[in-house]
């Protein structure tokens, strides 16, 4: 079933209107320097990670290839590829005690977990488990490996000393992600089927479920925040993130997440996917499947304050405890993005009023039809870009945005090709002369520039005065200083 499950994870026809920020203000930390420092080409369908804290290596499973890549965590290059028996590889777990990797394999009605010796690249043992194993997790408290068995509605417990299953723990329907709570040694299991949408809490001293926490919206992946003791759960159906109190095992709140645009060429809607916690800067990071973005949640306010562009369809995100980098498996780009996080700032935080928070799209496109190009007064078959405000409450229709901007809202979407899109969240403040000033550090984060950027306030309250130009850079998520709407001296009609 997991081949179907895999595609269900990437094709979600569920639409939901959500709000990005709640309350009267949004907190923007002074430093937002998270950046992609490496993009690693890998074999197709990269899916899940495990991290070796002894030699800094990163292990990457490839979903439908029977291969596991080994990445050097220092140079961020692939140094080895290890064949793994069977077809569908899903979750990986590294056992620091025996220094072996446990790989969940979907091998049919009877799944298996492959035990790999990564130094020699050999298969030590194939352990039979239930139907469709998905995620594997190492428990440092008792040294056992826990594996969610999606179609069997259970979690299998493996004793690495014998490499055999010692217990089956019944949980909810279609369990997927897990997280370990180092404060109480419990393991939390995301039961994704909407009919039993919940999180099961396993007491690992007895390996029994001690509580089931109902959470609507299809829980998918879970991350433990060791600073607050809370757990963060992505809800793949609701496209939000839930927060659980890890001391009382009770639901606390829902964090609204932005509706990000799909990556260029994708016709599927986006949703939240994987999630992990970085203890160095105390941020929770979420991958948005079918997009090309990772967002960062500030747990002090439980709001999204970071947006990082990565590859196409970032499926899984993982934190490397040695180098403190985040690794993102871009399943449709066949790459791994390595994100270097910012260092904690000792300066005070800047408060951005909610009415000054802006969401921007930079859309790079091409008009393929000479008729549409003539109507819009642009050159056909030429890469152009526009920068427009985005509404996080709506699912983005990039082609309609372009047509609206060009003054031909009823034009054919088939005549447009979206080449790339950048997304940014900024904080603006009103300055003298009826202008909006983008102050530091928000502008520095969004633009990678220094100094204030001035943008004229338009009469149209849905879009700032924007420009359309020949493409110059895809790394800029906002315009430097936006001139009046024009291209090659020809007036672009206002919308």
- The model's confidence at residue 351, banded by pLDDT at 50, 70 and 90, is low
- The answer to whether 117 and 137 have CB atoms below 8 angstroms apart is no
Mean pLDDT of the 389-415 span: 82
Residue 432, pLDDT above cutoff 50: no
Q: What are the phi and psi torsion angles at 127 (to 5°)?
A: -100, 120
- The model's confidence at residue 482, banded by pLDDT at 50, 70 and 90, is very low
pLDDT number for residue 389: 81
pLDDT number for residue 33: 66
Residue 458, pLDDT above cutoff 80: no
Cα angle 48-99-56, degrees, rounded to a multiple of 5 = 65
Query: Distance of alpha carbon 136 from its chain centroid, rounded?
Result: 19
Residue 450, pLDDT above cutoff 50: no
Would you put residue 127 in left (φ > 0), alpha (ψ -120 to 50) or beta?
Answer: beta
Select, from the ranges 6-15, 101-110, 295-304, 371-380, the one with the highest average predicted confidence (pLDDT). 295-304
- The model's confidence at residue 426, banded by pLDDT at 50, 70 and 90, is confident
pLDDT number for residue 343: 65
Mean pLDDT of the 313-331 span: 96
Mean pLDDT of the 396-421 span: 85
| More confident call, 17 vs 55 | 55
| More confident call, 106 vs 23 | 106
Residue 447, pLDDT above cutoff 70: no
- The model's confidence at residue 307, banded by pLDDT at 50, 70 and 90, is very high
Mean pLDDT of the 87-115 span: 89
Mean pLDDT of the 288-315 span: 96
pLDDT number for residue 438: 37
Mean pLDDT of the 185-206 span: 96
The token pair that represents 74 in the structure block = 């220092």
Instruction: Please give the CATH number for the structural domain made up of 30-347.
Output: 2.130.10.10
Residue 440, pLDDT above cutoff 50: no
Mean pLDDT (the chain, rounded): 80
Residue 493 buriedness (CB in 10 A; 0-12 / 13-18 / 19+): exposed
pLDDT number for residue 429: 57
- The answer to whether 207 and 196 have CB atoms below 8 angstroms apart is no
How many whole angstroms separate alpha carbon 428 and alpha carbon 354?
A: 10
Q: Which range among 1-5, 205-209, 462-466 shows the weakest confidence by mean pLDDT? A: 462-466
The token pair that represents 67 in the structure block = 């291969």
Domain ranges of the chain: 30-347, 351-491
| More confident call, 291 vs 345 | 291
For residue 117, the cross-strand partners are 122
pLDDT number for residue 264: 93
| More confident call, 303 vs 33 | 303
219-234 pLDDT, tens digit per residue, is: 999 999 999 999 999 9
For residue 434, the cross-strand partners are none
Q: Which range among 80-89, 280-289, 305-314 shows the weakest confidence by mean pLDDT? A: 80-89
Residue 388, pLDDT above cutoff 90: no
Query: Distance of alpha carbon 27 from its chain centroid, rounded?
Result: 21
- The model's confidence at residue 107, banded by pLDDT at 50, 70 and 90, is confident
Cα angle 102-108-111, degrees, rounded to a multiple of 5 = 25
Residues 6+ apart with CB under 8 A from 71: 40, 42, 57, 58, 59, 60, 77, 78, 79, 327, 336
Residue 93, pLDDT above cutoff 90: yes
- The model's confidence at residue 459, banded by pLDDT at 50, 70 and 90, is very low
3-state secondary structure of 398: helix
Mean pLDDT of the 433-446 span: 38
| More confident call, 400 vs 235 | 235
DSSP letter assigned to residue 150: G
| More confident call, 245 vs 360 | 245
- The answer to whether 23 and 353 have CB atoms below 8 angstroms apart is no
Mean pLDDT of the 293-305 span: 96
Radius of gyration of the chain (CA): 23
Mean pLDDT of the 396-407 span: 85
Mean pLDDT of the 168-182 span: 97
For residue 56, the cross-strand partners are none
pLDDT number for residue 302: 96
pLDDT number for residue 391: 73
| More confident call, 392 vs 6 | 392
Sheet holding 186-191, edge to edge: 175-180, 186-191, 198-203, 208-214
Mean pLDDT of the 401-406 span: 89
pLDDT number for residue 396: 64
- The model's confidence at residue 479, banded by pLDDT at 50, 70 and 90, is very low
Residue 18, pLDDT above cutoff 60: no
Residue of 74, 73, 63, 186 whose CA lies nearest to 132: 63
- The model's confidence at residue 401, banded by pLDDT at 50, 70 and 90, is confident
| More confident call, 121 vs 88 | 121
pLDDT number for residue 350: 55
Q: What percent of the chain has pLDDT over 90?
A: 59
- With tokens 């502008």, the residue in question is 443
Select, from the ranges 150-159, 426-435, 464-473, the one with the highest average predicted confidence (pLDDT). 150-159
């Amino acid at each position: 079933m997991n081949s179907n499950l895999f595609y269900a994870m990437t094709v979600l026809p569920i639409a939901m209107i959500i709000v990005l920020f709640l309350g009267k203000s949004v907190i923007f930390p002074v430093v937002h320097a998270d950046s992609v420092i490496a993009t690693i080409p890998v074999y197709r369908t990269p899916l899940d990670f495990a991290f070796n804290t002894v030699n800094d290596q990163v292990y990457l499973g490839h979903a439908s290839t029977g291969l596991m890549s080994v990445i050097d965590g220092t140079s961020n290059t692939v140094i080895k590829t290890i064949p793994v028996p069977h077809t569908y590889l899903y979750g990986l777990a590294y056992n620091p005690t025996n220094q072996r990797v446990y790989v969940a394999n979907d091998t049919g009605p009877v799944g298996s977990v492959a035990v790999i010796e990564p130094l020699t690249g050999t298969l030590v043992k194939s352990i039979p488990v239930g139907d469709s194993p998905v995620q594997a997790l190492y428990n440092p408290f008792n040294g056992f490996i826990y594996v969610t068995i999606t179609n069997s509605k259970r979690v299998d417990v493996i004793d690495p000393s014998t490499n055999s299953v010692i217990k089956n723990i019944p949980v909810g329907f279609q369990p997927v992600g897990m997280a370990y709570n180092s404060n109480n040694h419990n393991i939390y299991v995301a039961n994704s089927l909407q009919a039993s949408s919940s999180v099961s809490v396993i007491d690992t001293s007895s390996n029994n479920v001690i509580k089931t926490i109902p959470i609507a919206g299809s829980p998918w992946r879970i991350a433990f925040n060791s600073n607050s003791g809370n757990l963060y759960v992505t809800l793949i159906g609701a496209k939000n993130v839930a927060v659980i109190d890890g001391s009382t095992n009770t639901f606390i709140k829902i964090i609204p997440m932005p509706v990000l645009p799909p990556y260029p060429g994708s016709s599927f809607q986006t949703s939240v996917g994987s999630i992990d916690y970085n203890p160095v800067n105390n941020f929770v990071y979420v991958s948005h499947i079918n997009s090309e973005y990772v967002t960062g949640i500030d747990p002090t306010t439980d709001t999204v304050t970071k947006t990082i562009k990565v590859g196409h369809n970032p499926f899984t995100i993982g934190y490397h405890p040695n180098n403190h980098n985040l690794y993102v498996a871009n399943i449709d780009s066949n790459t791994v993005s390595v994100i270097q996080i910012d260092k904690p700032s000792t300066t005070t935080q800047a408060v951005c009023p909610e009415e000054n928070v802006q969401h921007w799209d930079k859309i790079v496109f091409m008009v393929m039809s000479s008729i549409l190009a003539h109507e819009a007064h642009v050159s056909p078959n030429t890469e152009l870009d526009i920068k427009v405000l985005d509404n996080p409450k709506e699912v983005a229709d990039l082609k309609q945005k372009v047509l609206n901007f060009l003054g031909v809202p009823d034009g054919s979407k088939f005549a447009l090709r979206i080449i790339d899109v950048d997304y940014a969240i900024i904080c603006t403040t009103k300055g003298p002369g009826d202008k909006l000033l983008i102050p530091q550090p928000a502008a520095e984060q969004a633009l990678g520039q220094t100094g204030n950027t001035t943008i004229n306030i338009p009469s149209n309250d849905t879009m700032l005065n924007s420009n359309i130009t020949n493409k110059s850079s895809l790394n800029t998520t906002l315009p430097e200083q936006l001139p009046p709407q024009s291209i090659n001296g020809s007036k672009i009609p206002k919308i």
